[in-house]
Amino acid sequence: MKVRSFSPTLKLPGMKEEEEAEEEEDEELGHAETYAEYMPMKLRIGLRHPDPVVETSSLSSVKPPNVWYRMSIPEETVDRGWLSALQLEAITYAAQQHETFLPNGDRASYLIGDGAGVGKGRTIAGIIYENYLLGRKRSLWFSVSNDLKYDAERDLKDIGAKNIQVHSLNKVRGCPVKKGVIFATYSSLIGESQSGGKYKTRFKQLLHWCGEDFDGVIVYDECHKAKNVCPIGSSKPTKTGLAVLELQNKLPKARVVYASATGASEPRNMAYMNRLGIWGEGTPFREFSNFIQAVERRGVGAMEIVAMDMKLRGMYIARQLSFTGVTFKIEEVPLTTHYIKMYNKSVRLWVAAREKFQAAANLMEAEQRMKKSMWGQFWSAHQRFFKYLCIASKVRRVVQLAREEVKNGKCVVIVFTQAGSPLVLNRKRKSGGLSGSSSDDSESEESDKDDAESDDNDSCMTSQDAVEDAQQMKRDLLDQLEKLAQDLPPNTLDELIDELGGPDNVAEMTGRKGRVVSNDDGSISYESRSELDVPVEILNLTEKQRFMDGEKNIAIISEAASSGISLQADRRVKNQRRRVHMTLELPWSADRAIQQFGRTHRSNQVTAPEYVFLISELAGEQRFASIVAKRLESLGALTHGDRRATETRDLSRFNFDNKYGRNALEIVMKSIVNLDSPLVNPPSDFEGDFYKGILSLDKGETGKFLNRILGMAVQEQNALFQYFSDTLAAVIQNAKKNGRYDMGILEHCKTKKLIRNNKKTAILVQEVNSKKRLFLVYRPNTGKQLKLEAYADIKKKCKKVLSDDAKQHWIDQYKSSAEICAHAYWRGNCKKASVGLQCEVGLRCRTYYVLCGSVLSVWTKVEGVLASVSGTNVKMQIVRLRTEDGQRIVGLIIPANCVSPLTNILSSSDQSQQLAVQQQQKWQQLHPQSLSHVHNT
């Protein structure tokens, strides 16, 4: 890198030493590279995977157990590379784990957390093939769509298992199928059989087919669909989630495989994975609820422990395609004057609607339950309306970008969560505006937490006059809505298709049955999507093929098509143009985000895709980016052992929905209503009195706040959001200074950091980005710093001097930092040292205590010591270290004052080790045939 500037500077007097000492703690440990190249550690068979695959650095520091299982899969499959080395590794560990039993007698399961595009389908097919060859001829394969049955058949055929037949559950009448794979969707698991006969439900039909002592394979593919089995708040577990659990309980000997890149995006979503043995009999957590409480109390660090511990025990594997060559860009789309006027009109209408709804509820003397249901529906419609209004603001820019990319020899994939617009009017209009009913017919989980499920039909006695008044208000609102509708933009999906050349040029893969099209005479009409020679059931697959064959260079996919459809620049297809993946609307969950990323980034591709995230200048739309960022951060921690695993998508800066965001929101609300002094100044460019007015928002609900500000006029919305963002930044900065900021996995760095104070300290700065004026900083005691600093910040604290002027200050601090802490160096004394405690702040060399190994198995002991000595609010911090002799260590940092009591407890009674030895001896007795091959593998 070219050196632009290399200058010594001196710290000017006036900065508080306490602040600087705390700042040092924040930067003492730093983030390292997130990913490491992945190669199987303990298995040496199979050919290299066709594409580069990576694993998070934290997981790569954890060694899986030794392999003692020997596979039965034919040599031809291995030698020809039909299953790659990393796929064979997953199959081997799954089979090995299936040979073990949990303390309650259930067979242990295996979790495949490989990312989209790595080849989970072939891995699953390999597990089924392995068991088929050993005489277990029946398997169940659950997934999210019946279309994926064709992929399952292809995967089995590709690995040489063409004799294994795949049968769709919805096509099976009775139980005539003797062997093979029954493929079913999660929704069919809770369905009723239409075939009549003995078994009225599909669930009972499956149980009968499996038999009582079933020890075959049950695959829960895309298993995040069962995530809501654990109720949150007042919500109820889904029927699907309960059925997934029930099937496992009914078939305790079944070889269960969970497979999903997003299966554990939040710890609560792991409730259906009861065969992992993380909670229950013989573990530190008696119930799943105990596990959840422990993990959530200790923060993201605890979630990282779970992922690493599962790999250590041999029950989990998580790799993903390298994102080398993939580009990510967030493009903020400016708002036109016309759009702002239309948006503000819509805001005024919704404000009027809210007032009329309130008045109507009072007139009707509605009961509380009825009001709750009404407001749930009101705010849900409010949120959807403004969400689609946000999307509409970006259509022109998307069309422009898409045309440019196609002209440049690339092809474009545009992604929606839902392929439609909200129903504003329950009547037909001539124009295709937001009121047009062109919505995706696929199942949607998008409703906001504000939504309330309808309770029992409530009735209330009201006078005829009140009813008439309410009806008049309704008519007034509809009239106002009719006037506004003329200004609303067209349906986004139909407008996009029309502007990009119509259905002949755009491959649409959605759940819609019809669409609005523009005719040559300027009129519009509604037409069915069906074609004469293509049944509706395979229309999306046909459109996909047209795109992959190069007949169409633009594809638009919705949630209905985002699972299972591969659109990458595959070496085997005709259309090998580079994919430009445009996200017009950020998904509402990491599950969906990762699924969408995986549509265009998969194995065997010629080129990696380019990702473009389009976000409007409307501050309220940051709400959607916030949700995705929160889920991606948590997803990285649980599914890859490192919350930064998804940070390359550049969405982390939008994560507001966390404890810091909730704290910032409370401060914002109190300052607006003059209950507390503000933490930051209001935006300087705001016209008028910023603090005038009161927002009726529930304290502490960040998501609700970020939803509701969409319903504010553009200037007020952006100003309030800026004020909130500034407050959040101040809250996070304070948390860092107070040592309470949860930073995720940190790596011990050879360079240490700065201490500045009223005394002068010398630093060395090197410009590394002349455009943004960013500098790399070197300190006398801690060397090269991790964080780049802006010129303006350096200028506030330092002045440029000659090397000779800085030399003595540098030498003094360097020498003192060998043995004297920063407090003693600057003040002459240290509070910790004065009471007999050791203080290492600012030293060149520091001591860290790290607990390694299966931390989860001794969780309650660690938890007890941490709580008694350091308090329940202390977050668990994972670190990754490399010793001078090259040894890699990953584990949990233990505060110095906890080391002695924890050492005593773990030394006196290591029950987990004893239990592991006993289980291993038991397995060896039960399965001597597998162990006889240990030395040959």
pLDDT tens digits along 712-741: 888 888 888 888 888 888 888 887 666 566
Identify whether the C-beta of residue 797 lies closer than 8 Å to the C-beta of residue 15.
yes
Mean pLDDT (whole number) for 690-719 = 68
More confident residue, 115 or 545: 545
Q: Is the pLDDT of residue 532 over 50?
A: yes
In this prediction, residues 325-348 reach a mean pLDDT of 86
Rounded to 5 degrees, φ, ψ at 22 are -70, -35
pLDDT per position as a tens digit, 888-931: 777 888 888 888 888 888 887 555 556 555 665 565 556 544 44
What is the rounded radius of gyration, in angstroms, for the C-alpha atoms of the chain?
30
Longest pairwise C-alpha distance within the chain: 95
Summarize pLDDT for 49-107 with one digit per residue, the tens: 988 888 877 788 888 999 999 999 999 999 999 999 999 999 999 999 999 999 999 99
The first and second tokens of residue 653, run together, are: 């800066």
Q: Mean pLDDT throughout 15-20?
A: 42
User: Which is more confidently placed, 189 or 9?
Assistant: 189
632: helix, strand or coil: helix
Which stretches of 486-536 are DSSP H helices? 492-499
Looking at residue 737, its pLDDT comes to 65
What percent of the chain stands above pLDDT 90? 23
CA distance 143 to 521: 46
8 Å CB contact between 502 and 431: no
Q: Is the pLDDT of residue 187 over 70?
A: yes
- The confidence score (pLDDT) of residue 873 equals 59
For residue 142, name the pLDDT band (cuts at 50, 70, 90).
Answer: very high
Give the full edge-to-edge strand order of the sheet including 579-583: 327-333, 610-616, 579-583, 411-415, 554-557, 506-509
Query: Is a pLDDT exceeding 90 seen at residue 773?
Result: no
**pLDDT per residue over 434-461, tens digit each?**
333 344 433 333 333 333 333 444 444 4
pLDDT of residue 12: 45
Q: Which percentage of the chain shows pLDDT scores above 70? A: 74
Please enumerate in sequence order all residues whose Cβ is within 8 A of that of 886, keeping only pairs 6 or more positions apart, or say none. Answer: none
Q: What is the pLDDT of residues 361-419, one digit of tens each?
A: 887 776 777 888 888 888 888 888 888 888 899 999 999 999 999 999 999 999 876 65
For 206-215, 643-652, 845-854, which range has the lowest pLDDT when averaged over its residues? 643-652
What DSSP line would sit under 253-311, residue for residue? TSEEEEE-TTTTSSGGGGTT-GGG-SSSTTSS-SSHHHHHHHHHHT-HHHHHHHHHHHH
Mean pLDDT of the chain: 77
Which band of pLDDT confidence, cut at 50, 70 and 90, is reported for residue 581? Answer: very high
Look at the block and give the residue holding tokens 């996070």: 732
Q: Which residue has the higher pLDDT, 310 or 235?
A: 310
The per-residue pLDDT for 8 is: 56
Among the ranges given (189-193, 289-293, 764-768), the one the predictor scored with the smallest mean pLDDT: 189-193
Please check the confidence at residue 643 and state whether its pLDDT lies above 80. Answer: no
State residue 936's pLDDT score: 32
Residue 636 pLDDT class (50, 70, 90 cuts): low
| pTM for the full predicted model | 0.71
For residue 927, the model assigns a pLDDT of 56
Q: How many CB atoms lie within 10 A of CB 449?
A: 15
Pairwise CA distance, residues 109 & 267, whole Å: 17
Mean pLDDT, residues 619-626:
61
Cα 202 from chain centroid (whole Å): 32
> Does residue 686 carry a pLDDT above 80?
no
Q: What is the pLDDT of residue 317?
A: 93
- Find all residues with CB under 8 Å of 541, minimum gap 6, and list them: 147, 150
Q: Phi, psi at residue 616, to the nearest 5°?
A: -75, 170
Residues 162-189: what's their mean pLDDT? 85
In tens, the pLDDT along 854-864 reads 888 888 888 88
Q: Decide which of 361 and 344 is more confident.
A: 344
Cα angle, residue 268 at apex, residues 263 and 270 outer, rounded to 5°: 40
Q: How confident is the model at residue 558 (pLDDT cuts 50, 70, 90)?
A: confident
Q: Please give the backbone phi and psi of residue 455, each rounded to the nearest 5 degrees, phi first.
A: -85, -170
pLDDT top residue among 155 and 419: 155
For residues 294-323, give the mean pLDDT.
83
Strand partners of residue 112: 259, 317
What is the rounded distance in angstroms from the CA atom of residue 112 to the CA atom of residue 319? 9
Range in 48-57, 183-192, 583-592, 916-925 the model is least confident about = 916-925
Q: What confidence score (pLDDT) does residue 699 get?
A: 44
pLDDT exceeds cutoff 90 at 299: no
* Residue among 36, 102, 5 nearest 640 (CA): 36
- State residue 237 phi and psi, 5-degree precision: -65, 145
The reported pLDDT for the residue numbered 157 is: 95
Q: What is the pLDDT of residue 566?
A: 85
Q: Which helix (H) or strand (E) element contains residue 24?
A: helix 17-28
- Return the higher-pLDDT residue of 10 and 475: 475
Alpha-carbon span 344 to 350, nearest angstrom: 10
Of 140-144, 183-187, 425-429, 821-825, the one with minimum mean pLDDT is 425-429
Which pLDDT value is given to residue 564? Answer: 66
pLDDT tens, residue by residue, 379-391: 888 888 888 888 8
Highest mean pLDDT among 137-146, 371-380, 418-427: 137-146
Domains of the chain as residue ranges with CATH: 35-321 (3.40.50.10810), 328-422+465-619 (3.40.50.300), 659-738 (no CATH), 752-835 (no CATH), 849-930 (no CATH)
pLDDT higher than 50, residue 114? yes
Q: Residue 617 is which amino acid?
A: E
pLDDT at 429 over 60: no
Nearest Cα to Cα of residue 319 among 113, 493, 151, 480: 113
> Which pLDDT score is estimated for 648?
40
